[in-house]
Structure 1
Amino acid sequence: MEETKHHSPAIGSVPYDLMAEIVSRVGSSSLKALVNTKLACKELNEAGADVRVFQRASLESLPAVNWRLPDGASSFLRRCEESSNPESLYRLGMVEYFSSNETESGCELLKKASELGNLEATYALGLILLSEDSSSFKGLALLNKVEKNKSNKKGIEGCRSKSEKILRQLWIKKTIRRREIVCCRHTCRNGRMRGGWRGQWSTYEEESFCCQACKWNNELNDFVRILLGPKTYR
């Protein structure tokens, strides 16, 4: 029997919208995979310029500050920001608030990234609002939103770790205030600063806290420790 040969249709016959959607999903998993995909052929390279690609592109392999970016990456990151890529808005918001001391624009960028679903931005903005007012309803609501998000497999610790990774790349010029841990219960055993300025902060299980305000004020103080840096606690 004569062997039947199957030929794949030319990629040029694939609708542009479908091709752009595919490339954007590839880019959301890996920046390296996105680059390799765009190099595959002319059609894929053109689809790689679609706004959806910049909106969803993963930035995990790129540093947070422009002066550390490889050649050509600055313009790519700028396109991501212009396309409302949540991760790029989160990074820029962290840079604006904590490094450039542009607190208003930093908060606006974090707010926008949060509204687009970036949990790290929601976490950072919640703590900033909590630092301004220890009973901030908005701050507590944002932090509770992060904790309850079912897609957030790494939880609050993951958001804290991601924030620390970003902050370690920045020259910190703006910090936020620590807060006394104020609990709604008079018998609360967590109502004091843990460890002092030079001590080690303790990690507590959720059930050890009397209320949400108590727990999140402790998280705020852990975040401030990251901002101040490990040398402060030696």
Structure 2
Amino acid sequence: MAGSSQKDRKKVGVFVQHECPLNLLPREIWSSIAVMVASNSIEDLFNMQATCKEFLGAASSDAVYKHATMSYKPLAHFLLHLDGPERRFLDRCVEVGNVDAILRHGFVEYLRFGRRDKGMELLARASTEGNVEAGYLCAMLLMFDHEDEEEVKRGVQMMEVIRISRKLESCSKFFRGVFNDAIVLLLEMFASE
């Protein structure tokens, strides 16, 4: 009889609604976390977005793209390895006004694609929004890569502003690193062929 009573029992579906632990924190906190992730690694941001819908939503907000930094990647990296997800990431960052991305996009436009006007426009924009490295690069390009005397003078004036702000040494150190990174990337590129 014990076996028959088990057969007579009806199967009852129990529906238990669980609160997703990710929903317990406000979206602003997840967005702040996503900004920190994006500041350390574009790849980690992509991985975060692929994890779940909550992370995708938080990691896709304009705030993430506006405040993400790319300084952990060598500037020269953007000259050689800018396609696929990284390119879309950079474009979205530029679209929302990310100054770090505007510098990199201007650098690529000017040096890789030879679009001097577009590159200078982007570098000047990043410089006016407070990116000292963009101002330094802009000044250097105006002084040494332009024949127009007025542009050369403007480059000298920009360099003087950077010198007065006592950022000249950090900028020159930054760009020594850029050129060292470019040499390393070029050697890697030629070694893989």
The answer, yes or no, to whether TM exceeds 0.5 is: yes
TM-score range (shorter-chain normalised) is 0.5 to 0.7
Q: Which amino acid aligns with 1:64?
A: F
Q: Measured at CA, do residues 143 and 37 of structure 1 come closer, stay the same or move farther in structure 2, by a change above 3 Å?
A: farther
Q: What is the aligned counterpart of 1:76 among 89, 106, 109?
A: 89
Q: Which amino acid aligns with 1:156?
A: C
Counterparts of residues 174-213 of structure 1 (less than 5 Å): none
The gaps in structure 1 that reach 5 residues or longer are: 1-7, 149-153, 172-234
Partner in structure 2 of residue 113 of structure 1: 126
- Name the CA distance, whole Å, in 2 between partners of 1:144 and 1:159: 18
Whether contact under 8 Å (1:55, 1:83) holds in the other structure is yes
The gaps in structure 2 that reach 5 residues or longer are: 1-18, 145-151, 187-193
1:26 counterpart = 2:33: no
Whether contact under 8 Å (2:139, 2:154) holds in the other structure is no
- Name the CA distance, whole Å, in 1 between partners of 2:183 and 2:62: 30
- Name the CA distance, whole Å, in 1 between partners of 2:174 and 2:34: 27
Q: CA deviation at 1:135?
A: 8.2
Partner in structure 2 of residue 141 of structure 1: 161
Partner in structure 1 of residue 69 of structure 2: 58
Partner in structure 2 of residue 164 of structure 1: 179
Identity of aligned residues (%): 24
The C-alpha deviation readout for 1:26-84, integer Å capped at 9, x for no partner, is: 2112223323333343211111110111122333448313x733543322222122122
**Paired residues, number:** 158
Q: Please state whether the residue corresponding to 2:60 is helix, strand or coil.
A: coil
Whether contact under 8 Å (1:119, 1:146) holds in the other structure is no
Q: What is the aligned counterpart of 1:49 among 60, 66, 77?
A: 60
Q: What is the aligned counterpart of 2:170 among 151, 155, 159?
A: 155
- Name the CA distance, whole Å, in 2 between partners of 1:133 and 1:166: 29
Q: Please state whether the residue corresponding to 2:103 is helix, strand or coil.
A: helix
- Name the CA distance, whole Å, in 2 between partners of 1:98 and 1:39: 33
Q: CA deviation at 1:88?
A: 2.0
1:102 counterpart = 2:115: yes
Whether contact under 8 Å (1:56, 1:85) holds in the other structure is yes
Q: Which amino acid aligns with 2:54?
A: E
